Every structure is written in structure tokens, then in C-alpha cells.
Structure 1
Amino acid sequence: MSTSPGQPIDPMDPFTPSPLNQLLYGHVYSASVRAVAVHRIPDLLADGPRTAGELAASAGLHATSLRRVLRVLAMHGLFTLDDKGAFALTEAGEQLRTDVPGSQHPMALLTTDEMFRRAATGITDTLRTGTTSFEVAYGVPFFTHLAASPADRELFDEGMASLSGRGAELLAESYAFPGSGTVVDVGGGRGGFLRAVLGREPALTGVLFDQPETVADHLLDVPEVRGRWSVAGGDFFSEVPAGGDLYLLKHILHDWNDEDCLRILGAVRRAAGPGKRLLVIDAVLPDNGAPHPAVELDIIMLMLVKGRERTAPEFEDLLARSGFRLNRVLPTPSLPSIIEAEAV
């Protein structure tokens, strides 16, 4: 820093805090988050403030290095640092504990993993070729890689499951689900959202449908939904379970390009009779260019898969081409909206 305390900050100083510097050093901050997540430092702060030396002694780490990493994360709101040199968790930092409801520890490990880091470096080539940057870095599509790498698949599934929890509850509270009938969660992962839906409607039954290796590790075996669910494995591009009264596609369509979305929606339409409802749960981009958190998520899609975030008119077009009529778009307290459609 070329200024000293009391001197005015030069806006042209390359070390002055600025929107540009926040972006330039973003990889430093995410690497620091990963370091404390891997060593589970937030768990060690569950009972209150501790110094870097105390934390390092408990975790078998180098105290001075730990203090420097915690200090930069305190500057960005994950920890606080008091005048006695003790660090404590903020509300945001609490989410990195492994023992709290809705823990984001698995998501932190996923988004800072080598898969994401390598994919990010390929964006430069993506701008030239249009190929996803993950494929540039790894030579195969993202989901092909996951199918061949059980460890990375488990990391991905755990990260996605961590997005359930409170987020699933918020979504389940945002829609008037039917009091009876069968809901089919297509591509429902390990079933966190389906569990939240069934937990709110005691007479509703559900089917969890996803890849066989994913549904094998489901989260539905809990007392509050006992006897009201089944699981099925398969490929949602070709066929999904028939006979449902309500179909769910949560965080699915944004993973795929329009052609593949039409294949998925077509399979759902063949399974759903006329008048049956479909809920597409995805972020909905404003169509006027206004800032929105899903704009950042759209870059993740650019990195990993051939999908993208879409506007309401773009969803309406996909649905119409697949035999569905868009009824309404419901905002929720969470990032995604609920797009309600009906088979025609």
C-alpha cells in the first residue's frame, strides 16, 4: 500500500480496495475459504472465540500461517478478530461448520475443488470456441467425468445435497402442494427436496427418480415420510416414471442446452397425462439486464455444462414446444423461482 494512515487513498493505486481488486484476488479468497474448510476450523470455533495459536494446536497447523488466513477472511466477513487476538465465527462463517443444519461445508469443498479451479482457467478458450471450459480442461463433458470418477461424483452429490436443507424447506413452503396424489421428482438427487415436500403433506406420496447410483444414497428413510416414497433409477432423457399427478424438475433444465431440455421435457410430457402439472424450479433471469445473483450462476453453467440460466419467456418457449402451457412464475425467498406449467 503506497499510502500511510491518515493519507487520502489514491484511486489509481493498484492496491486500493476496489471492485476490480475484489475480482482480481477472488481466487485468493476462495482458496483461503477452502483451507479453513478442509481443516474444519469453523468446527473448532463452535464453542466460542479462540486465538490462532489455540486453533493451530488443536488442528495440528502452523499458527502464524493460520492467523494470516483467518485475518483475511475476517476482513471479508466470515470471522471476527478481537483486540485480544481471538477469532470468532460470524453468521456467514457459521455455515461452514459441519454440524449445523444446512451446512455449506460440502458446497465449499465442491466449488473450491480442482474441478472448478481447472474449469475456470478454460473460460479464455470458451470465449473463442464456445466449448465448456470444463471440457477444455478435462477433455470430456462434466457429467461424463463424474460418471467415471466415483470420488468426484460423491463430492458433487454431497454439495448438491447441501443446497437442500433450509433451501428445500423455503421452496416447499412457497407452493401449495396437493394434499394427496403422487409427486415425481425427476432428477431429484438424493431426495432432500422431495422429503421436504412430503413432510408438509401427510397424505402425499412421492417417487424419487435419478441415476441409480445417486438414488441408492437417498435421504428419504426418515420417520416423518415413512411408507410414502419409492425410488427409481434411470435416464430422464428417455423415460421417467408415469402416473404422477405432479412432476418436479428442480435445478435440472439449467444444466442443459435447449435441445437437451426439449428431450427431458418430452420424456416428462409422455409420462404426464393432460392437465397434470409440472414445476420447473430454476433461477429466472430478468429480461431487462438488471443485476441478479443467477448471472454469476450462469458463468458456472458456462464453465461446467452446456446449459445456462434463462428468462421467463425462454422457459415459456421451451415448455410450449414440449406440450406444456406456462401458468405462472412464483418468486420464492430462495434464489430459484417456481415455474408452474400444465400438460396440454
Structure 2
Amino acid sequence: MAGKRLFTIAEKEFFDHVRSRKFLLIFGILLVVAIVGMIGGIAEYNKSLDQYNKHQSAIQSPLSSYMPVKPSILSVFSSVATYLVFVGGVLGIAMGFDLVSKEKESKSLKILLSHPVYRDEVINGKALGGILALAGALGVVLFIALATLLVYGIVPDGNELVLIAVFAVVSFLLIFSYFAIALFLSTAMDESGSALIYTIIIFIVLSVLVPTLSNNTVTEFVIGGQPELPQELLDQMQVTPRNSSENSAVVFSTKISAQGSSDAWDRFNERMNTYWEKRQAMHDTLALLSPTMNYESITSSITNGISGNTLVMSAGSGMTTNAFSVSRTGDAGIGDKLGKIAANIIALLLFPSVFFGLAYIRFMRLDVR
């Protein structure tokens, strides 16, 4: 009986959402920008694939450690993720900011609670109805996205389908995070207008202000600037870039005296590694405070098949000429990617859980008169 009441409330809330103009408007915008993002991403993917095929057929220089990397289909979803950060957040806020406050204003909450229904059934039913509507909207968007891939003749393999599923889950968690924040403020505020204003303020802080704190200027102010190459090593280097195209390696021919140069590079690399570890630690700490940053970290890892640039140096006793190349590393395996984003997924899961828990506690203690 209790379960039936819960699902009755959830069903009502679900249909109220999907029939509302604000939901249909924002959902329509989300659908349009997702399709536009997919088409743009597919164009970039095809361009990168053509460049990869050209590099495959080209003769690689033995002086270069650069190996062409086949672009991943997941890169197509990069533009979609960019749009979801904003439009998805707005959708979650729009669906949650007046779930409880509008019933306070209309006095219908008092009438509802006078019926033989428990408070936990009311708040859980409202949340469940909103979750189902959000999941349905996101499901339609991703279905259209996959259909767009197939129309262009792009078929994901098994691993890519797994990562697309992960992308869908974390996208839902992002939207649910802001829905949970809005739901909490809807229970905490007596008026829907106040709930909306405070929710938007929190959204701006979490999606704009906190990520801004991790930019280069703020990071360098906190942990200092990036270590500069010592003059000792600069004096030893004569830079001669090899003829290269957009994705080819940049090769430096250097004349280095072997004695002492290896130790100098080791010291410089150690300082550089320490700097980047501190910078990453600061970014990870701030990410725990922002579902937007967590989402961007996860989607960047999923949609980006390139893990970064590496400086490759070879030095040995008796060598007077060394080759340095800035190369792009290969596509990480699915296990490596999932392991890398596990902490971010957990943080993104905890965020809506905390705010929904706060909304639940607040509603259970709500004084309805």
C-alpha cells in the first residue's frame, strides 16, 4: 500500500513535468544543441580520421618518437558534454526549484499531508517523478545522438558503447545534482522565487566561480609558477624544428655534453613533476566542491583519446647528440580510463545524495500550518 502511494505521487509528478511548458522548452533547447554538437563533432572526427590515415601512409622519421593515434568515436560527444554542462544544469534547476515551495504558497501541501500519506512518500515520490523525467529527457537526447552516428555511418565498438553508457550515467548525475540542490532549496524556502534565486547563485558559484579558482593565474598565485628551464640547459640546446604538419612531432636537435647533463635534466624533471602534482592536487580538491568540474574531468577523460604531450629525452654516456620530441601518447584502455575517473564518479554520486538527504530531512521536519 505504501509503495502504491509512492508510485502514485511519482507518476503524477512525472506527467506534471513532461507536460509543463518550461520542461518542454528546455528539453527542446537541449535536443537542438545536442544534435548541433553531434554534427559538429562528427565533422571534426572525420577530419581527424583523414589526418590519421594520411600519417599512417607517410614514412615516419626514425628521429621522431611520434606515433599517429587513431581518433576515438567518443570525441564526437565532447561538444555534447559542453552544452550539457549549462543546459542540463538549467533543466535540473527548472524542474526542482518549485516542487515543494509552490505547494507551500498554494497551501495544497497542507491538504496533501492531511490525507493518509506519509511525508517520506511525498518527498520520495516528488524526487522519483523528477528523476524519471530527467532520465527520460536525457535518454531521448542520447538516443538521437547515437542515431546521428549511425546515419553518418559511424558504428561504435563494444568498448566505446561502454564508455558512451558511462557518459550517459555521469551526464544524468550532473543534472540530478542541480535538481537535488533545487529540491533542497525548494523545501527550505517559503517562496519559489527565493528558491530559484538562491539555486541560481549556487549554480553560478559551482559552475563558474569554483572552476575559475583552478585556472592558471590563481593556481600560480597559490603554488607558484611553473619551473623554468635552467640557463645551464638552455645554453646547451640549439633548437631546430623539423618540418611538421599540425599533428606531427616537433623535434629538437641538441648538442649536449653527456657529462652532467643527465643529472641536470633529472633535477629539472623532478621539479616539474612536483609542480604538476601540486597543481593536480589543487584541481582535484576543488573538483570535490563542484559537480561541474567533476563532470568535465570525467567527460574529458572519456571523450579525449589523447592523454597528453610528453617530452621524450634520450641521453647516454658518450653521446653528443640527443633527440627530443614532443609526442602525443596513445589512447588509454577502457580499464585505465574507468580507473582514472572512479574518484570523480564517486564524488559526482555523493553530491546529489547529500543534497537530497538534506531535502529529505528538511521536509520531514517541515512545519505545515
Q: TM-score of the superposition, structure 1-length normalised?
A: 0.22
Higher helix fraction (1 or 2) = 2
Greater strand proportion: 1
